[in-house]
Amino acid sequence: MLVSPRGYCAGVEAAVKTLAWTVVLYDPPVYCVHAIVHNEDVVARFERLGVVFVDDVDDVPAGGTVVLSAHGSAPDVVQRARRRADVVVDAVCPLVTKVHRELRARLAAGDTVLYAGRAGHDEAEGTLAIDSTVELVESPHDLAAVRPPSTRVALLSQTTLSEHEWSAFVQEAHDRFLSVWTPPTADLCFATTNRQRALQRAAGSCDTTIVVGSASSSNVASLVTIARELCANVHRVGGPEEIPPGVGGDVAVTAGASTPESAVRAVVEHLAPSDDVEELVVTDETNQFALPRPVRESLRTRHEAGALPRALAEAACDPGLAADVLLDLVESEVARSGPNR
């Protein structure tokens, strides 16, 4: 049973497209601060295209081209990138930007801001760096140790938390503090929530659940947690080579929001189902996020000048083109033209 929606969300689609077009539009090498998305196979594909991933923006040579990852960057990182690089492309997900705006607004209102998230996650680190007074809480139990200097508390969250996790934080905060502000529209990524709800529909009726995605992905971890509440046999795999022997019966397959569909298809092919593959569609997702302005403007200029190869020119005219398809086209063009295109 293939669970849908699964795989790339709108933010990941936009981020992968952004980095792919940046490879085409600007002189190599292109630098990217942190993994563009939390998927090792996607990162490896870009490395083969010549993209250099760095953990510190100071590792980007002066005058270079740098892309900032989908998870959001600390203000200091953005400022240093703009001082060092000639071209800065921020591929941050708009939903992460929403959290950053809310955080600044609540600080300006005088609230004590608490951030529910996971220590060390790129998104959490970028958000916490906005202001040193923001306190990270990794569990609802952590709220017991919080002594807010203000009677007004604002609670924000990492976008990839599960609905269950967020509800527990909200309930505990209201039990402990006199005044709690939470966003009118939850900070949780709609795509993450959709994937979790779809999995809940499928996992309980199957013998085994396979979640395709990287161990570094927070939303993949949330899917695994949800599946284990409903299904006795749950496996997180990066690809078919990680599927344990003996998997059989009815199998539900889903994927995290940073997992390409090609990895899902490879898993299904490896499972070689003896009966039909059923697709359980719980929600249709039609959301699309625009590419960052520097990429849009450079792409328009190159297209109008007739400076794009035919396949890429056609891709530029198709905003609905899947990110994986665009990446395939870019790989073909780089293979044809060489690294000094």
Residue written as tokens 């998927």?
A: 39
Average pLDDT of 203-212? Answer: 95
Whether pLDDT at 340 is above 70: no
Q: How far apart are the first and last CA of the chain?
A: 43
Mean pLDDT score of the chain = 94
**Position 197, amino acid:** R
Average pLDDT of 330-336? Answer: 92
Q: Which stretch, 46-50, 163-167, 285-289, has highest mean pLDDT?
A: 46-50
Catalytic residues: 123
Whether pLDDT at 339 is above 80: no
Average pLDDT of 331-341? Answer: 78
How far does Cα 87 stand from its chain's mean position? 23
Top CATH class, 10-93+306-337: alpha beta
Whether pLDDT at 257 is above 90: yes
- How far apart (Å, rounded) are the C-alpha atoms in residues 57 and 136? 24
3-state secondary structure of 193: helix
For residue 339, cis peptide bond before it (omega within 30 degrees of 0): no
3-state secondary structure of 258: coil
Average pLDDT of 225-234? Answer: 95
Average pLDDT of 120-144? Answer: 96
Average pLDDT of 177-193? Answer: 92
Per-residue confidence (pLDDT) for residue 254, from 0 to 100: 97
Alpha-helical (H) ranges within the chain are: 10-25, 40-48, 75-84, 94-108, 122-128, 163-176, 190-203, 218-230, 261-271, 293-304, 310-316, 323-337
Per-residue confidence (pLDDT) for residue 275, from 0 to 100: 84
Whether pLDDT at 203 is above 80: yes
Residues 109-119 have pLDDT tens digits of 999 999 999 99
Per-residue confidence (pLDDT) for residue 23, from 0 to 100: 96
The structural domains of the chain, with segments of one domain joined by +, span: 10-93+306-337, 95-181, 190-281
Task: Kindly write down the DSSP assignment for every residue of 129-140, as one continuous string.
Answer: TT-TT-EEESSG
Return the percentage of the chain with pLDDT > 70, whole number: 99
CB count within 10 Å of CB 87 equals: 20
**Position 303, amino acid:** H
Sign of CA pseudo-dihedral 107, 111, 112, 114? negative
Per-residue confidence (pLDDT) for residue 71, from 0 to 100: 93
Per-residue confidence (pLDDT) for residue 341, from 0 to 100: 53
How far does Cα 312 stand from its chain's mean position? 25
Whether pLDDT at 151 is above 70: yes
For residue 29, cis peptide bond before it (omega within 30 degrees of 0): yes
Task: Kindly write down the DSSP assignment for every residue of 202-245, as one continuous string.
Answer: HHTTSSEEEEES-TT-HHHHHHHHHHHHH-SEEEEESSGGGPPT
Residues 51-69 have pLDDT tens digits of 999 999 999 999 999 999 9
Domain 10-93+306-337 shares a fold with domain 95-181: no
Top CATH class, 190-281: alpha beta
Per-residue confidence (pLDDT) for residue 186, from 0 to 100: 84
Residue 280: strand pairing partners: 3
Per-residue confidence (pLDDT) for residue 274, from 0 to 100: 87
Per-residue confidence (pLDDT) for residue 162, from 0 to 100: 86
Per-residue confidence (pLDDT) for residue 218, from 0 to 100: 87
Residues 76-100 have pLDDT tens digits of 999 999 999 999 999 999 999 999 9
Q: Does domain 95-181 have CATH number 3.40.1010.20?
A: yes
- How far apart (Å, rounded) are the C-alpha atoms in residues 325 and 321? 7
